[in-house]
Amino acid sequence: MRRFLRLLARPETGALVAALVIFVFFLLVAPSFRSLAAFCTVLYQSSTIGIVAVGVGLLMIGGEFDLSAGVITISAGLVNSMFCWYLGVNLWAGALLSLAFCLAVGFLNGWLVMRTGIPSFLITLGTFFVLQGANLGVTKLVTGSVSSRDISAIDGFASLRKVFAWSFPLGDATVWITVLWWALFVVVAAWTLQRARIGNWIYAVGGSASSARAVGVPVVRTKIGLFMTVSFLGWFVGMHLLYRFNTLQAGNGVGNEFLYIIAAVVGGTLLTGGFGNAFGVAIGAFIFGTTSLGIVYAGWDPNWFKAFLGVMLLLAVLVNTYVKRLSSSPAAFASVADPPAPALAASGKESRRD
Amino acid sequence: MRPFLAAAAVTVLALAACSSGGKDDTKTDSDSGGGNAAGSSGYTVAFVTHETPGDAFWDKVRAGAEQAAKDTGVSLKYSNDPDATKQAQLIQSAVDAKVNGIATTLVTPDALAGAVKSATTAGIPVVGLNAGIDQYQQLGALMYFGSDESLAGTSLGKRIAGQGVKHPLCVIHQTGSVSLEARCAGVKSAVPGTENIQVNGADDSAVTTTLQAKLAQDKSIDYIVALNAQVALDAINAKQQASSQAKLATFDLNTDIAKKIKDGSVEFAIDQQPYVQGYMSVTSLYLYLKNGNDIGGGKPVLTGPSFVDSANIEKILPFTEKNTR
């Protein structure tokens, strides 16, 4: 029983069960879902959400939100695209400039949140609008229309495409490099959370910033770092979009910030901070990919997709709340006090909050 | 740290050396010269649309309106809001500001009726454009410039039905849009096997994967009808991924689509000539104010559907680069 409770208390357990159920469900109802090609498409769709969701998950564990994470993907691509198109310079220069820009936005988000004490929800809502407006305004000024120009003829395109938007065939399926990058980012994030000192800091600042500060955790640096991680990953996805599609629509990206948050929440991250892990967030993104495409593979009317997504979100939150209550019951605490087994790392950390 | 920064700076500068493929410096995009200076006719026209910010289509409507304002010497006040009640508010504030004329899209006639009525009561002439072809008269608008969405859909449907297409896929990129639904319904009226699909138009990778999944799920899809240019470009990607042989046609035009029509990956585009919608709305108000003209003689003036295909693409391609088609 204890062992079971312990397992249940891990943030990703509910999501993993849900992911398996949903995946098997679509395998049963949708014949065209049962192929490697379909699986790779689902993985690709999950990766474009999942990469940024890794950062958003970490940030939420650290107790903050970032609503600008969706539009910054487009800002990142636009900065790179227009700078190079207008000045005719190598795309690598633009990519680096864009990286600097995104990190600066992340820094500004974090710095403002820490400096003013205004909730990150409001600060990043502000950034969201500023970026959205600037995306449109600047693009129109530079290119004379609201989509960026085709940059595929500019030097550096081929090599950047290899890095951000390469794909290779696997049988009749296509594997996109974003899937590999996604896996890498998840592993790095998971390792950081479980094994690195910064991981402890992230749980601590999300659990209780004042207690964390009292025991000497650099709260400001940790949180600013988390915001910058989100915008770094946003930059990464922006690069993928730019180098896969060559042009970007300046108004795009809006709404995706919620998908990242949904992936994190479905994956067991608590909205209040201090609880969650990277594998859970990855599973959350995978659930999103499976559902959004599973409905299409099944041949159902995709108009219903959002309704389905909403039900799933509610279920995930219910399961998480239930699990949370179980895991903080005396029985679970007793289990945490057991000699630490590797599998215990997550729940062990979790008990260290406050 | 410092050597690293220096190295990075040197790298950036080295990479920044000139390379080809960017903006063409020799090309000067001068607007057509001549005409009056802005505002010299003394008329002020409010131009209110339901543009979702960042849509290339509306950018052309606006470009047309601005050019017309320049040509006729009208001072133009552009505003937009995709939300119906806010759009009504924008019309109302134009009335309050006592403009000389109002051009507006009538996409949600019921929500806009009150504001349009208060304009006509105040003696301000109203011209409808883009949406509301069936309702503009009863709302009290004088003239209408736009495409008949279901007629456009039907024309597209008839054209592909002639090629023996049985099972087209009509891609709706904006949830609950009446005019997009009307286009697909038009296609369906000509090809009964038409199926609609809903995609998230704000995310190109989502559009691509959704279409890819659909093409893999149903191999009998022999035609894709995209309802805007960007979705059509995503559909080309999706077709490659799913190795689908389906052909592709699209509504709306931009430079990239024009090039794809030229190289054959898009069969044709249905252009409702947004530039003309903007241009004519302002010009017609000018003529009405100055000369009492009634363009269309009480009937809507259609700006489309105009077919752009391999036959006329050579002529049209340069215009798309100037953002006028």
pLDDT tens-place string over residues A122-146: 999 999 999 999 998 998 888 877 8
Q: B121 to chain A, minimum CA–CA distance in Å?
A: 36
The H or E element spanning position A191 is helix A177-195
Residue A306, both tokens: 């959002």
Q: What ipTM does the predicted assembly reach?
A: 0.79
**B 162-201: CB under 8 A from A:** 175, 197-200
| CB under 8 A, 24+ apart: contacts of A121-128 | A121/A65, A121/A67, A124/A65, A124/A66, A124/A67, A124/A68, A124/A69, A125/A67, A125/A68, A127/A67, A127/A68, A128/A67, A128/A68, A128/A70, A128/A71, A128/A257
**Interchain pair B233, A247: CB under 8 A:** yes
Which residue in A96, A132, A154 is closest to B19 by CB distance? Answer: A154
Q: How many CB pairs under 8 A join A and B?
A: 157
The amino acid present at B52, given as its one-letter code, is T
A247 and B CB contact within 8 Å: yes
Q: Of A2 and B234, which is predicted with more confidence?
A: B234
Note the pLDDT tens digit of each residue in B96-141: 999 999 999 998 888 899 999 999 999 999 999 998 888 899 999 9
Nearest to A154 among B21, B175, B230 (CB): B21
B205 touches chain A (CB under 8 A): yes
* Span A27-39, average pLDDT: 91
Pairwise pLDDT comparison (A311 vs B215), residue with the higher score: B215
Inform me whether the C-beta atom of residue A135 falls under 8 Å from chain B C-beta atoms.
Answer: yes
Cβ contacts of A38 on chain B, cutoff 8 Å: 213, 216
Which backbone phi and psi does B39 adopt, to 5 degrees? 80, 0
Average pLDDT estimate for A202-231: 94
Which residues from B are below 8 Å from A247, CB to CB?
Answer: 233, 256
Query: Taking CA atoms, what residue in B is nearest to A174?
Result: B241
Kindly report the nearest CA distance between residue A329 and chain B, in angstroms.
Answer: 42
pLDDT score for A140: 85
Chain A's closest residue to B234, CA to CA, is A245
Kind and range of the H or E run holding B104: strand B101-105
B307 - beta bridge partners? B270
Cis peptide bond upstream of A342, omega within 30: no
Q: Has residue A51 got a pLDDT over 80?
A: yes
- B249 CA: distance to closest CA in chain A (Å): 19
A-chain CB neighbours of B15 within 8 Å are 89-90, 92-93, 96, 156
Percent of chain B with pLDDT over 70: 88
Say which of B52, B216, B255 has its CB closest to residue A38: B216
What per-residue confidence (pLDDT) applies to A344? 35
Interface contact A245-B56, CB threshold 8 A: no
